[in-house]
């Protein structure tokens, strides 16, 4: 049980390396970074929420930035794995592939909204090698959709002449869903995902 911050379900996907006190630290970081921003949260702030001294952080991570880096990597890893799985299940037809990837892009964000928001908003709070690694991972994820669209253009399934810009537009559209959608929304996650899949295909006409 934490002190102060209430830990909510579905903050993080299940992982073997996140258990016990380490899991509680990562959950507290998602809540605080999401609510106040990475730079506004101190190590003391994080550890006080767990009823621990600031130095206890370093039993789990090398630094506050490393904690953010680990969260961003988790967010990007989950996103990549789910997009790849969706693509494998979609068959070879480009329209079906785009729909599958975009729908999973939306669902991945809405299934773990707090993690998604921290990953999207705070990635540029990283520095040096951590930032370079995270940006490379983000580019790799975007390339999954980009490669599908480029193949579709090559076989004249899509009419767009700007595949790169299409990926930015479609990707941003899906990421914004996490800023307004809540479990109380009149639209289910599946409905939002399917509708955004429709929107994505219209971008590519």
Q: Over the chain, what is the mean pLDDT?
A: 93
Phi and psi at residue 160, to the nearest 5°: -60, 145
Domain 65-203 matching CATH 3.30.360.10: the answer reads no
Distance, in Å, from the CA atom of 50 to the CA atom of 63, rounded to the nearest integer, reads 17
**Beta-carbon count within 10 A of 118 CB:** 26
Distance, in Å, from the CA atom of 50 to the CA atom of 108, rounded to the nearest integer, reads 28
Side-chain half-sphere exposure of 183, counting CA atoms within 13 A: 6
**What pLDDT, in 10s, does the model give residues 38-73?**
999 999 999 988 889 989 899 899 999 999 999 999
Domain-by-domain residue ranges, the chain?
Answer: 20-64, 65-203
Does the pLDDT value for residue 7 go beyond 60?
Answer: no
Q: Domain 20-64 - what CATH class?
A: mainly alpha
Average pLDDT over residues 142-161: 97
């Amino acid at each position: 049980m934490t002190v102060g911050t209430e830990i909510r379900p579905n903050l993080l996907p299940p992982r073997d390396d996140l258990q016990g006190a380490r899991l509680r630290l990562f959950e507290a970081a998602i809540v605080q970074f999401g609510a106040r921003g990475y730079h506004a949260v101190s190590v003391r702030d994080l550890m006080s929420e767990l009823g621990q001294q600031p130095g206890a952080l370093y039993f789990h991570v090398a630094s506050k930035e490393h904690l953010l880096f680990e969260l961003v990597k988790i967010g990007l890893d989950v996103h990549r794995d789910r997009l790849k799985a969706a693509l494998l299940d979609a068959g070879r037809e480009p329209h079906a592939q785009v729909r599958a990837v975009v729908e999973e892009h939306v669902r991945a964000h809405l299934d773990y909204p707090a993690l998604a928001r921290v990953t999207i908003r705070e990635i540029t709070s990283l520095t040096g090698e951590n930032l370079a690694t995270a940006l490379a991972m983000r580019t790799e994820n975007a390339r999954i959709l980009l490669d599908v669209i480029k193949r579709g253009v090559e076989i004249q399934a899509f009419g767009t002449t700007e595949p790169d810009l299409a990926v930015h537009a479609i990707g941003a559209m899906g990421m914004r869903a996490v800023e307004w959608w809540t479990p109380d929304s009149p639209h289910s996650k599946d409905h939002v995902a399917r509708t955004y899949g429709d929107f994505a295909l219209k971008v590519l006409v």
